[in-house]
Structure 1
Amino acid sequence: MNRKLLFFLFAVFLAALLFLTNQIFKDFVLDFTFGIKKEYLQLKKNFNQFLEDHFNQQQTIQKLRNQNRELFQYKILYSDIKERYNALLQDCHIIEKTSLHLQPVQALSYVTLGDFTTLWIDAGIPNGTIVGALKGAYVAGIAMGEGKRSKLLLLGNKKCSFGVQVGTKAYGIAVGNGDNRFTVVKYIPNYEHIHIGDEVVTNGLDGLFIYGIKVGRVVEIKHEGSYKIAKVRNYADLSHPWFFWLMKL
């Protein structure tokens, strides 16, 4: 009888032990899997957040690149407009020097690619009419109507010519030599005394310019038959031919 009781008690104890052990194991398994699931969900959340942040970052970078490209274009346009505005302001001071009828004009393009001495200008000069052209307070060349368009021959153009005075009384004809930086004054009588450094101005006898508009200074003198030839360094800076004034007498 005692053996049966002991066996019964042992069986009850064993069953209780298995029950408790199984519950602990189940709790352990549940806690372990819950931890894994929690870490997985957090990892998944972090990964999704990383992808979203990366995608947003790429969009932001592309947006900034586009904005930077637009700003660069605006910067170029602004620089161009600023240069043109400054050039116009610089040229405007000639109004203080004379009360003549002066027409501001803008260059449209070179007439021939590679020839920097001839420009189409927005002027509306009547066909066959020739007028003087200024860059600031200095002679820039001559302008003329050609059909329905207007052409400007800069100082370097070999067809550009006008009357000048060298020094105090020597008269001559200024003509272009292919270089806008220089002008050649021809037909100066040999008896006239001219010197390097003499200032050259318009003589007012050609119907294009009034007397005294500055052209440049003599840098070289040569003799040719019964005349002298003077090479003149021009005052007008024609390297940026944007704005001019037409002198209408």
Structure 2
Amino acid sequence: MKKVFLWIVFIAVTLFVSTKISKEIHSEVLRLSSAIKIGILNINNNIINTITRHFQQAEQIKYLNNELRDKQQIEYFFNALNVEYKELLESVSSRLPIDLPNIHFVRNISYVDMNNYAKIWLQSDFDKKPDDKLIFGLIHNNAVAGIAKFENHRLIGYLNGDEKCTYSTVIGENKIPGIAKYDANKGFIVDYIPLFPPVQIGDIVYTSGYDNIFYPEILVGEVQSVEYRQGYQVALIKPALDKVARFYWLIDIQNYDIEIGNEDS
């Protein structure tokens, strides 16, 4: 009987102790499980926040890149317009004879050929039939730039330095006649100059006005050297205008002569 009582007490104590221990273990397990869940949730949130920040930063970078591109594009446009405005202002403000009609403002569009910097496309709104076989003078800043003509219904400028650019000139105080042209071996020259009087280095070359391309006394350039050939002289010329400009003045002498003739008749 005593043994049965002792067994009952042992079992009761064991159950009590096991209950206490199981409660503590259960509590620890719950705390560990909660900690793991919280850790997993924190990791998940951190990952989500990192991914979100990454995409937000990517979107922000993309936005800033687009803003920078647009800003640079506007800056480039502004710089181009500013350069064109200065060139336009310079061309318009250049001193021109006020009593000469049929001078038209033309714009350089582009080169005709990429390897030829003396041949350009021109844009103008002056009233002239594209099929007219006329030669026009081109000037810029009161100096001869070249000539212009229609080809395939488009206006082309042949600048000093192109083999198709020829016009009549006079040299120095004696107004010695000659033909301005381009020589592939020598460069820009005045050819077929009479032997007398002799041309001097430093003489100034002007247009003659005899060829119905330019008005008289438009600056062409300066004589750098003189070569004597059989029956004539050849002068190497430093042109007053040797750079391609954005704007030119186009001279229409032929139409002016016709108008004068009509008025005189």
What is the CA–CA distance in structure 2 between the aligned matches of 1:247 and 1:79, rounded to whole Å? 30
Alignment of 1:31-180 (within 5 A): 31-94=31-94, 96-99=95-98, 100-101=100-101, 102-112=103-113, 114-123=115-124, 124=126, 125-126=128-129, 127-146=132-151, 148-177=153-182
The structural deviation recorded for 1:166 is: 1.7
The structural deviation recorded for 1:5 is: 5.8
The structural deviation recorded for 1:109 is: 4.0
Amino acid aligned to 1:209: F
What is the CA–CA distance in structure 1 between the aligned matches of 2:44 and 2:213, rounded to whole Å? 85
| Residues 172 and 186, structure 1, Cα contact 8 Å, conserved in 2 | no
The structural deviation recorded for 1:31 is: 0.7
Cα shift readout 1:213-246 (whole Å, capped 9, x = no counterpart):
21111111111223211111112133x3432111
| Residues 117 and 178, structure 1, Cα contact 8 Å, conserved in 2 | no
**2:249 pairs with 1:242:** no
What is the CA–CA distance in structure 2 between the aligned matches of 1:59 and 1:79, rounded to whole Å? 30
* Structure 1 stretch displaced more, 170-179 or 14-23: 170-179
What is the CA–CA distance in structure 1 between the aligned matches of 2:209 and 2:226, rounded to whole Å? 23
What is the CA–CA distance in structure 2 between the aligned matches of 1:111 and 1:28, rounded to whole Å? 88
Normalised to the residue count of structure 1, the TM-score between the two structures is 0.82
Cα shift readout 1:153-199 (whole Å, capped 9, x = no counterpart):
212222322222222123223322157x9531123222224322222
**Shift in alpha-carbon separation, 1:178–1:54, aligned structure 2, 3 A:** farther
| Residues 174 and 183, structure 1, Cα contact 8 Å, conserved in 2 | no
The structural deviation recorded for 1:25 is: 1.0
Aligned to 2:215: 210
| Residues 107 and 121, structure 1, Cα contact 8 Å, conserved in 2 | yes
**Shift in alpha-carbon separation, 1:159–1:2, aligned structure 2, 3 A:** closer
Amino acid aligned to 1:104: F
Superposition CA RMSD, Å: 2.9
Equivalenced residues, count: 246
DSSP-derived class of the 2:49 partner: helix
Which segments of 5 or more consecutive residues in structure 1 lack a partner in the other structure?
Answer: none
What is the CA–CA distance in structure 2 between the aligned matches of 1:118 and 1:20, rounded to whole Å? 105
| Residues 119 and 162, structure 2, Cα contact 8 Å, conserved in 1 | yes
| Residues 92 and 136, structure 1, Cα contact 8 Å, conserved in 2 | no
**Shift in alpha-carbon separation, 1:54–1:113, aligned structure 2, 3 A:** closer
Aligned to 2:20: 20
DSSP-derived class of the 1:53 partner: helix
Aligned to 1:198: 203
Normalised to the residue count of structure 2, the TM-score between the two structures is 0.78
**Shift in alpha-carbon separation, 1:116–1:165, aligned structure 2, 3 A:** same
